[in-house]
Amino acid sequence: MTGDLPADVGGLTAALDRTGYLADEPLATALFLATRMPAPILLEGEPGVGKTEAAKALAAALDTPLVRLQCYEGLTVSEALYEWNYPRQLLAIRLAEASGATVASADLFTPEFLLARPLLAALEHTGPRPAVLLLDEVDRADDEFEAFLLELLAENTVTIPELGTRRAVLPPVVVLTSNRTRDLHDALKRRCLYHWIPYPAADRVAAIVRRRVAGIGDPLADQVAAAVQRLRGLELYKPPGVAEAVDWATALRVLGIATLTPATAAQTLAAVVKYDEDLATVRGSGLFDD
């Protein structure tokens, strides 16, 4: 499993930095442990603080595929694991009939007719380094799917009735993210390493903006970070996160705006405030009045 993976936390921090992701020492340590123990890691935090980006950056830093499963209410095991290629099976039947042959049921349920979905694809990745399996917003999935994940993460195996048990060739590095729309079961949490990603300080947000938005000047990055910090101090339904700071800076850059003034802030609020009620709160606060 260790292969060409970073040798220590500092090495992983530097590799993440080269992808453009700024990870502090606690997060880099947690991600490093996830690659070496190995154990799944659960990243929690407010929306927009960089949980999903951390998994993407980890895959890039390890130079390995990212396999992403976006979780949602009603997600089924078959949608996440595998399904059979029914059109191809039907074509095989018709071709056999046209030639006067018959097709046994067992001939239709073979690996060539199997469509691997994210979970199976991550388990069957052969290397040279383990894939990064991102289970994004796992808190949106149902209890039944969470129970299945617990079993999968414990054994790194799945059973396909027609083909038998499939065991991971190279167990993936598993990153789960949650916005805490509901509490995850204790059994799943006990299986995982855990890290809470807080909203970073303004100077770190400015550093992230400078990395993510090409050509933005230092003053504007600092102004955006400070303005987002002030917005977060209001009673908003959806406080802006790092992602919104990057979006705001990008919008200003596209418009050729070099300085964030009350007028330009009001002009571009749509890039950072995403609910009508929050827009009313911001406008009523006088935060960007001349």
Secondary structure of the chain as H, E, C letters: CCCCCCCCHHHHHHHHHHCCCCCCHHHHHHHHHHHHCCCCEEEECCCCCCHHHHHHHHHHHHCCCEEEEECCCCCCHHHHHEEECHHHHHHHHHHHHHCCCCCCHHHHCCHHHEEECHHHHHHHCCCCCCCEEEEECHHHCCHHHHHHHHHHHHHCEEEECCCEEEECCCCCEEEEEECCCCCCCHHHHHHCEEEECCCCCHHHHHHHHHHHCCCCCHHHHHHHHHHHHHHHCCCCCCCCCHHHHHHHHHHHHHCCCCCCCHHHHHHCHHHCCCCHHHHHHHHHHCCCCC
State yes or no: pLDDT of 2 exceeds 60.
no
178 vs 287, residue with greater confidence: 178
Mean per-residue pLDDT, 77-99: 89
Residues 259 and 148 both lie in one domain: no
Mean per-residue pLDDT, 205-229: 93
What confidence tier does 131 reach under pLDDT thresholds 50, 70, 90? very high
State yes or no: pLDDT of 290 exceeds 80.
no
Mean per-residue pLDDT, 84-99: 89
Residue 158's pLDDT is: 87
Mean per-residue pLDDT, 215-221: 91
Residues 75 and 144 both lie in one domain: yes
The tens digit of pLDDT for each residue in 256-284 reads 999 999 999 999 999 999 999 999 999 88
State yes or no: pLDDT of 206 exceeds 80.
yes
Residues 225 and 189 both lie in one domain: no
Any domain includes 104: no
Residues 210 and 240 both lie in one domain: yes
Residues 154 and 250 both lie in one domain: no
Mean per-residue pLDDT, 117-141: 94
Determine the structural domain holding residue 171 and report its residue range: 9-82+110-197
Residues 150 and 78 both lie in one domain: yes
What confidence tier does 3 reach under pLDDT thresholds 50, 70, 90? low
Any domain includes 91: no
What confidence tier does 225 reach under pLDDT thresholds 50, 70, 90? very high
Any domain includes 2: no
Final residue before a domain boundary, out of 174, 197, 220: 197
Residues 146 and 63 both lie in one domain: yes
Assign residue 184 the CATH number of its domain. 3.40.50.300
Residues 50 and 131 both lie in one domain: yes
Residues 277 and 156 both lie in one domain: no
Residue 38's pLDDT is: 79
Residues 265 and 127 both lie in one domain: no
Final residue before a domain boundary, out of 167, 197, 227: 197
Number of structural domains the chain divides into: 2
Q: Does the global pTM surpass 0.75?
A: yes
